[in-house]
Amino acid sequence: MVSGKDTAHPLHSRHQRTFQANRFVYPVLSRRSGGISLGVNLNPDKICNFDCIYCQVDRTRQSETRFVETDALVVELEAMLGLVKSGELYESEEFAGTPEHLRRLNDIAFSGDGEPTTYRNFDEIIAACAGVKDRLHLDPVKLVLITNASMFHREHVRRGLEILDAHQGEIWAKLEAGTDAYYQLVERTPIPFRQILDNITAAARVRPLVIQSLFMRIEGEPPSAEELEAFCERLNEITAAGGKLRLVQLYTVARKPAESIVTALTDAEVDVIAALVAKRTGLSTAAFYGVPQP
C-alpha cells in the first residue's frame, strides 16, 4: 500500500536548528509528521558516527554550544510547547505561512546535528522530556526518535527506547541500502551494515518501527534496480525474523546536501520505488518528494 504522497512546502526545506535564542529545541514544519515537530538536538557539537553524503548539517563550522545542558533543554522545550499550544508560533515570520491544516503539534523529535543515541545520557534525557509531556498533559503528542539504529545494542539506549514505548513513542530507523557497498557509499561509516540490520531487527521484535529511506541520484545516477531489489530483500529478512515494520517512508533530497554529487530524484522516480517496495514486501509505504524545481 502506497500512501502519504507529499511535495515539499517551502517551509519544509528550512529545517532551522535554532529558533530565536534556543540552543537545543527548534520547531520544524515536518512533511512526514504532517504538522509541527519540535526537534530536540542532542548533538550540538555536530559530531555524528555517520557521514552521509546527503546530510545538510554544515560540519565545517563549529557550533558555539558543544554540550547538552539538560535543565536548559527542558526549559526550552516547555517554552516551545507553550508557543505552539497558544498559536504564538504562527505569529513569527518563520511560521506565519504555515497552512491551517498543518497548524498542529504532532511530536517531539530527537534528531538534530548528529545521531541522538550516541548521547551518553540518552535514557535520562528521554525521561526528562517525557516528564515535560506528562506535566503538560500532552498525551496525544508523540515522542519520535529519528535514528540510524547504530547504538540500539547499548544498555542505556535500550532503556531510552523503553521509555519511548511508555510515552506514545515511535522509532524512525534509517535504512537506505540493500548491499554493503551502497551502504558504505551513502553513509560513509566504519559501523558494519550487519550491525544496523541486526539492531533494527532486534528493536522491531519489541515494537513496530518506521523505516526511513532516502534515495537520491549520485553523480546523476539513481539507485540501480539491483540495489532496490536488495533493499526489499533486507526488509523481508527483518520481517521474516519477527521484526514488525509499521511503515516505510521513502523520500529524496529536499535541502542542500553535503556533497554536490547528490541531487534529488523526480517525483515519478520516488513513486516507482514506493510501488516496488510495497509490491516486494507487502509493507505500507509513504512517498515524500523533493522541492519542486522552478
Cα separation, 186 vs 182, whole angstroms: 6
- Listed in sequence order, the residues at least 6 apart from 262 whose beta carbon sits closer than 8 Å to its beta carbon are 53, 54, 216, 217, 218, 253
Match 521484535 to its residue by C-alpha cell: 205
Amino acid identity for residue 52 in this structure: C
Pick the CATH number of 2-288 from 3.20.20.70, 1.10.3720.10, 3.40.50.1450, 3.90.1150.10: 3.20.20.70
The pLDDT value recorded for residue 10 is 44
What is the per-residue pLDDT for 258? 83
Tell me if residue 27 falls in helix, strand or coil: strand
H helices present in the chain, as ranges: 70-86, 122-135, 155-165, 180-187, 193-206, 225-240, 267-281
C-alpha span between 276 and 291 (Å, rounded): 23
Residue ranges covered by each domain of the chain: 2-288
pLDDT of residue 21: 82
Consecutive 10-residue averages of pLDDT for the chain (294 residues)? 54 48 90 87 93 86 75 95 92 92 94 92 96 94 97 97 96 98 98 98 98 97 98 98 98 90 96 98 95 52
- pLDDT score, position 16: 45
Q: What is the pLDDT of residue 107?
A: 95
Predicted local distance difference test score (pLDDT) of residue 129:
97
